[in-house]
Amino acid sequence: MNIGKENGNVEMKSKQKWKELIEENDYILVGVGEEWESDEMGEELSEAYERLAGMLAGTDYFVVTTAMDGWIWKTDLDKNRIVAPCGNRNFLQCSAACCEEIWRREDAPEGGQCPRCGASLVPNTVEEKPYVEAGYLPQWKAYMTWLQRSLNRKLLLLELGVGFRTPTVIRWPFEKTAYLNQKSTFYRVHEKLFQLPDNLDGRGNAVAKNSVEWLCSL
Ligand SMILES: [Zn+2]
């Protein structure tokens, strides 16, 4: 396992290093996970998103996030290049999932009840069972199409703060994509869960740092 030497004097060079790494890849796939989830868009988080958007500007990227706070939609990242399969707490769904409709919290029907069946409205996230998936499926299709295009091309995978809350969404598929694509480079940044599988033939890099802080330090 390669633990990134991202501290000390090396840090001075990391901005340039990242610029080069991004330039030499055709596609950039970013995974945003639990380390980014927050009740409020604090200064550091805002800065991290800003840096990420700046880093990705002008590249062919896609961002998959499991954060359910919806902050990512308020950043400079391209909304056509984001998918949030775990949902967004700012949207509501019928708790009985009688329909595929979702409402912005501020536009929700009065009384907080589903206009069709009368059940209570609940946040449109994967934590609700049943979960109304209509909110993210169109973007999921866009993501799958994009991912197909990246096959056999130079692909940089940047996994930021993704743990094991929903490993089937980012963590395990990213490992598989990195394994299958021999032209890929995989960076896993996480304060504690930075461990890599051992089948990446030197294409994997682990950075044992909180990914929000790490991005702000670039
Ligand atoms: Zn309903």
Residue 83 is predicted with a pLDDT of 98
- Centre of ligand 1 from the C-alpha of residue 100, in Å: 9
Contact between 67 and 40 under an 8 Å Cβ cutoff? The reply is no
- Centre of ligand 1 from the C-alpha of residue 130, in Å: 11
Residue 218 is predicted with a pLDDT of 86
Residue 9 is predicted with a pLDDT of 39
Superfamily of domain 8-85+136-217: TPP-binding domain (3.40.50.1220)
3-state helix/strand/coil string of 160-172: ECCCCCCCCCCHH
- Centre of ligand 1 from the C-alpha of residue 120, in Å: 8
Residue 126: strand, helix, or coil? coil
- Centre of ligand 1 from the C-alpha of residue 134, in Å: 14
Query: Can you give the residue ranges of every domain in the chain?
Result: 8-85+136-217, 89-130
Residue of higher predicted confidence among 4 and 97? 97
- Centre of ligand 1 from the C-alpha of residue 117, in Å: 4
Whether 10 shows a pLDDT value over 60: the answer reads no
Q: Is 125 exposed, middle or buried (0-12, 13-18, 19+ CB in 10 A)?
A: buried
Counted residue by residue, the chain has a size of 218
Whether 11 shows a pLDDT value over 60: the answer reads no
Contact between 92 and 105 under an 8 Å Cβ cutoff? The reply is yes
With b for 16 or more beta-carbon neighbours within 10 A and e for fewer, the 144-179 pattern comes to eebbeebeeeebbbbbbbbbeebbebbbebbbebbb
Residue 14 is predicted with a pLDDT of 79
Whether 114 shows a pLDDT value over 50: the answer reads yes
Residue 5 is predicted with a pLDDT of 45
Residue 214 is predicted with a pLDDT of 95
- Centre of ligand 1 from the C-alpha of residue 110, in Å: 14
Band of pLDDT at residue 13, cut at 50, 70 and 90: low
Band of pLDDT at residue 15, cut at 50, 70 and 90: confident
Q: What is the pLDDT of residues 23-61, one digit of tens each?
A: 999 999 999 999 999 999 999 999 999 999 999 999 999
- Centre of ligand 1 from the C-alpha of residue 202, in Å: 50
- Centre of ligand 1 from the C-alpha of residue 34, in Å: 30
- Centre of ligand 1 from the C-alpha of residue 97, in Å: 6
- Centre of ligand 1 from the C-alpha of residue 121, in Å: 8
Residues 195-212: what's their mean pLDDT? 96
Q: What is the pLDDT of residues 128-183, one digit of tens each?
A: 999 999 999 999 999 999 999 999 999 999 999 999 999 999 999 999 999 999 99
Q: What is the pLDDT of residues 49-106, one digit of tens each?
A: 999 999 999 999 999 999 999 999 999 999 999 999 999 999 999 999 999 999 999 9
- Centre of ligand 1 from the C-alpha of residue 91, in Å: 15
- Average pLDDT, rounded, for the chain: 93
